Chain A
């Protein structure tokens, strides 16, 4: 009833009724084609007049008409309008078809929603049902390859592992992750969210859409709307989803077997293995990995009454790892309520509570198994572990590692909304984001070998809490006068974030069982840990912001958006705390121009452009301070007493200010053939200036060896094109099918690294594996370029070479042509940033059977096979090593047999030999589902029931010799360096969805 009242009221207000003579009344019922249920609130208007009504709760309507030549127009948000001639009819029942056109879709944007046709920004939407297609902890996993401009990479395949998310390239040397806004609450991650609780995700990419988040918008914004009971949904909808999956390795690294290894060693150290044919052969990968299950179950109830909209969701997720002693388990509790406490007054809550538990296996074990010699049996006849020289026995590594994380994340958002003076809405929203987590690790006493042993057991515990309070107040003004539509938003927000952690270590725990993993004065070791109690300098800050946005639409044709946000952050010194972030955007709905009416094939045409400045405040707040270093001790007296000392540490830079990104975007949206074919193209150009980077400074400033000071010293460009092309159609025989392709090009380039005066102009990654310098992408791989293999002594003498070079050694290119090979010859060997991301999505359905296929790929990036380098001792080799150069052979890629040395990257001679292509093309997901016929399920009082089978990562095409080129690090200076990453797997799932 309230719906009807509202709509009647609206009609009454907007369309003053002018009634002509009544001749008769047409009645009927309007139903939805989707479920056959009545549709309340449908507008029914006599065409060309202002005479109209709306359907009631049962979908019924009655409308007076005067002429049999009149026609009735039925319209409803989300459905295709229908125009029906009256003729002689008195009862006209209408079945409304859902509108697959996206034009009138409502899009969630910062602090509000907007009709997609009014949108000037670049925003991609993903519906909730697409998010449950990948069995993973984080909803972000499901977005791989789905959205143009969005790159989602798994950090590793270990259960509970996070994702590295980039929107439109690598925006900074610092944290380039987007922010997440869940039902209006600004967060740093959404790994705690159950994908099944999500209604939709929108990815805000350009300045027009993200500028409302100002200092947090530079790297994009991901808006998440969780499910709520829908107004009018009187009957509760109860959903039950259950899924069971098996993960399995579908790829092994091609390593030498025992015999091959022996032959290889014999090649450089003859006679080491006299009879290679009788040696044991152990495949450590087979011993390490075994199939493992994932369970994922949810139950939810959603509904509404006049006063309350509610949603209650409960989820359980458990993933076992393919390596022993790795697993992840969590519950998710979701509670979203809106209470209509008075006319135009609403209060509500969005609450998420996520307790989780995780066990971490030995973090190095994949690398250990990779290096372990294949001609050793894992166990001795007496059952004890075999000593694996140099690397340790990987199985023992697992057994003696005990590491557990546990904790709870809770987010509570409480809001009140008041509509007043017709056009105004005031909203105040208060949120609490709390996370408490701990890790406990215990290493027992054990002995495998002199290198792999622990003589005193030890126990470490880390406790950490993070706590954010966010208070946001916004005032919204909406007005439509004739052809003018105006929406104005103003707001004021405050945020306070704190974190604290505490590490404690103990030794000689009296018993090894977990009942005894507690500290007491006799086992605690206060000097065992650095930073025993501190705050996380990235998560200890406060912000104050004011925000403003105006949207103006003229005649549905011309769109204008202006946004302004002013943020203050505690992370900077007083004078630099505040910064302003403006943006402007225009849009032109060409389709609504009169001249377009001739082009009936074109159903949508829109051009938009935006410019704006955004900030990134995800930096360590301590960099501005000159801190006092403790523990700078001196030793005095014959009895060697440590006297504590303290002095000034590295000088801070109080002049630090915000990183600022200037982004431009031009977009074109096209719909053809009644939007069966849709396409969207964007060009983006992002320049981030004043990037905070630590740079070397002159030694005479007294900051010690390798000291760096952080300056606003860098600029980075990301530019490229994005496109999405989709086809969506239904054949006459009822087969529906769709196909879409998206792609993104990224050109990343460092424009500037210079702090002005006494600082350096390049930035090296750890171990100088990467370099960042002007003209190259961030974190480019760095080292010697291999020009070939020295085939003879004569050839060695022809080329610049290293001292002691022998035939069969790698020939490094003398890049600077100075006649010698030294560190000046290192060059850029590849980039970790792909220049093309793409995804293909295909789907078809017929009579309850549906099939969908999602492909994903990247090209243009390189990966460093670090695990193959650095061999001070004997380790196993990859298969290609067998093609080693030998006198008479002419290999130009594999050097002579040797267990280490320069050819294998020793002594900082990392070379292009270890850089591989990271290109891949993957069948990310394939689903075959079947919805049971209505007749069948109606008996069980079900509304819908569906079963499905699905495969994830079924197939990957790539050149990389490791498990997966998806090796991501949040640090752009060491991205895609494979040091033996926990592999991602193929996943086979079976699931059931039932709705009552």
Chain B
């Protein structure tokens, strides 16, 4: 008997068969909620500005500052690890006597952060050009991004040598190291473009103070050329800053780095910050890492000024007091620096061994006064604006380049501008070699604890002489090791001396 198929039996079948067809692929399309995806950003002028601002943000990430701890000064004769003897002894301590290793977390963090900045810059450089918007503003945005990309790559190439040259947000995951020359060429081209595109400092509105300027780009380019001993180009760009007439020295040396002097006349490029502990809310941990430890509780007390640095100041140099914050000092009229209870107050030998100091090195609890911000708590310390380039540095770069270019008279002019402010007598030395040493010494005391000393020693070939007693090995420690993780993960080639 054949069963009768009636319509009521067919309905389920029909439902069953059509239901898959009733839904297109859209059913499986779920977009992220409340989040833009990279494909949809940046597409407007407002997006472009946000993308540019993000490139600046990188400079407030704590690891941008030499991997959180100001390792660059600790790796010089100007400073020691600091803090109490135990804190970060095994992580930061090795940078004090050049026993650091390729696996050090700090250098990796620094590397990663610099490349984060480069990625953000690449977003602007690559994605902003097609945006329909005011041409002048668009060019400025791209100029700002190129300036910052150059700044980040310059740190990388100085610290690590040739590094992967990433100029696109779509970079392949497998990379090799570019040559140092190639990286420097990229930096110089970016700065040339930035100089062409960026306005002078006073062409920005007050609300944009802190953005990259033509002057900053010239100054950075001078620094890049000086690094390569290209004195003619260095002179050109340093003089471009000087001749722009937009800058001069603060009357009071202290204000070159202080709260009062923020975005002041001497500031060529600095990192704006707000006194909040959160990065999102505008804080920068740079000063907190070095801030007074204990009482008042401003920070961790790393990057302790060395006795050697203190001795380097000429008698009567007012900069010593403004550079080193000693126990017992009274800041802002009322704040007594008592310091940390677990750190020896007086002269005490630190626990590291140094090849050139068989009896060890004596430290005295003291702090980097250049990062002082008025206040007694931690958040206020996050409001310090780190000066990346200040006019005194430009003057000394000019002096150095001019001397090398056989213009000692002009060199003395700019050198003595810096010395005058420090209440020191003019230098009159015209002998090129002697003047070179004088300028070099001036750089040390003027720019102490601002992260220049190590680079200056390396680029002038003085590092082995000066740093050998601390454990520096010529031919090796001019560069940091490529972070071990990059070698393990990506197979990058290690610097020869670090293999």
Contacts and interface: CB of A to CB of B under 8 A. Distances in A.
Interface in B458-493: 483, 485-486, 488-492
B57 A636 contact: no
Given A527-B281, A628-B41, A698 B485 contact: yes
A634 B383 CA distance: 13
A638 B263 contact: yes
Nearest to A491: B16
A633 B262 contact: no
A546 B34 CA distance: 32
B207 interface: yes
30 contacts: A418-B12, A420-B8, A428-B15, A471-B19, A473-B15, A475-B12, A534-B33, A540-B30, A546-B20, A574-B25, A622-B32, A625-B35, A625-B38, A632-B57, A635-B273, A636-B211, A643-B49, A645-B51, A646-B47, A646-B53, A646-B54, A647-B50, A647-B51, A648-B41, A648-B169, A700-B115, A700-B164, A702-B120, A703-B119, A704-B113
Contacts of A851: none
Contacts of B123: 647-648
B274 A544 contact: no
Nearest to A428: B15
Interface string A499-527: 01000000000000000000000000001
A640 B274 contact: yes
A891 interface: no
B490 A700 contact: yes
B434 interface: no
Interface stretch (A754-762, A811-819, A957-965): A754-762
B430 to A, nearest CB: 41
Given A699-B112, A701-B115, A759-B489, 16 more contacts: A475-B13, A535-B33, A570-B29, A571-B30, A622-B32, A627-B38, A632-B53, A636-B210, A648-B41, A696-B489, A697-B173, A704-B112, A704-B116, A705-B109, A757-B174, A803-B351
A640 B53 contact: no
A834 interface: no
Interface string B1-32: 00101001100110110011001010111101
A24 B489 CA distance: 91
A627 B36 contact: yes
B390 interface: no
A648 B209 contact: no
Interface string A787-798: 000000000000
A621 interface: yes
A428 to B, nearest CB: 7
A60 B448 CA distance: 108
B60 interface: yes
A568 B271 CA distance: 49
A926 B173 CA distance: 61
Nearest to A540: B30
A635 B272 contact: yes
A732 interface: no
Contact of B108 (A428, A647, A699, A703): A699
A642 B282 contact: yes
A637 B262 CA distance: 9
Given A628-B36, A636-B209, A700-B490, A426 B13 contact: yes
B401 interface: no
B28 A627 contact: no
Contact of A642 (B12, B15, B42, B281): B281
B480 to A, nearest CB: 13
B124 to A, nearest CB: 8
**Which among B9, B13, B351 has the greatest number of chain A C-beta atoms within 10 A?**
B9
Contacts of A628: 35-38, 40-41
Nearest to B483: A699
Contacts of A803: 89, 351
A699 B113 CA distance: 8
Contact of B41 (A633, A646, A698, A706): A646
A710 B281 CA distance: 29
Interface in B189-238: 206-211
**Which among B3, B32, B280, B485 has the greatest number of chain A C-beta atoms within 10 A?**
B32
Given A426-B16, A570-B29, A628-B36, A638 B50 contact: no
Contacts of B154: none
Contacts of B36: 627-628, 646
A463 to B, nearest CB: 15
Interface residues of B, number: 87
Given A628-B36, A646-B36, A635 B282 contact: yes
Interface string B266-285: 00000111100000111000
Interface string B86-113: 0001100000000000000000110111
Contacts of A641: 207
Nearest to B124: A647
Nearest to A651: B38
A544 B485 contact: no
A471 B15 CA distance: 12
B55 interface: yes
Given A533-B34, A633-B280, A642 B274 contact: yes
A541 interface: yes
Contacts of A542: 27-28, 30
A758 B274 contact: no
Contacts of B207: 636-637, 641
A704 B118 CA distance: 10
B210 A634 contact: yes
Interface residues of A, number: 73
Contacts of B206: 637-639
B173 A698 contact: yes
B382 to A, nearest CB: 11
Interface in A795-814: 803
A113 interface: no
B111 to A, nearest CB: 5
B391 interface: no
Contacts of A646: 36, 41-42, 47, 50-51, 53-54
Contacts of B120: 632, 647-648, 702
B378 interface: no
B28 A703 contact: no
B27 A645 contact: no
A881 B202 CA distance: 68
Contacts of B23: 494, 544
B249 interface: no
Interface in B55-77: 55-57, 60-61, 63
A644 B29 CA distance: 30
B406 interface: no
B115 A535 contact: no
Contacts of A471: 19
A715 interface: no
A848 interface: no
Given A420-B9, A703-B116, A635 B3 contact: no
A935 interface: no
A426 B8 CA distance: 12
B53 A634 contact: yes
A341 to B, nearest CB: 12
Contact of B489 (A473, A494, A697): A697
B166 A702 contact: yes
A626 B119 CA distance: 13
A428 B60 CA distance: 58
B163 interface: yes
A698 B486 contact: yes
A633 B274 CA distance: 11
A544 B118 contact: no
Q: Which 3 A-B pairs have the closest CB atoms?
A: A702-B119, A645-B53, A635-B272
Interface in A657-716: 696-707
A421 interface: yes
B185 interface: no
Contact of B3 (A422, A500, A645, A648): A422
Given A527-B281, A700-B163, A541 B53 contact: no
B37 A627 contact: yes
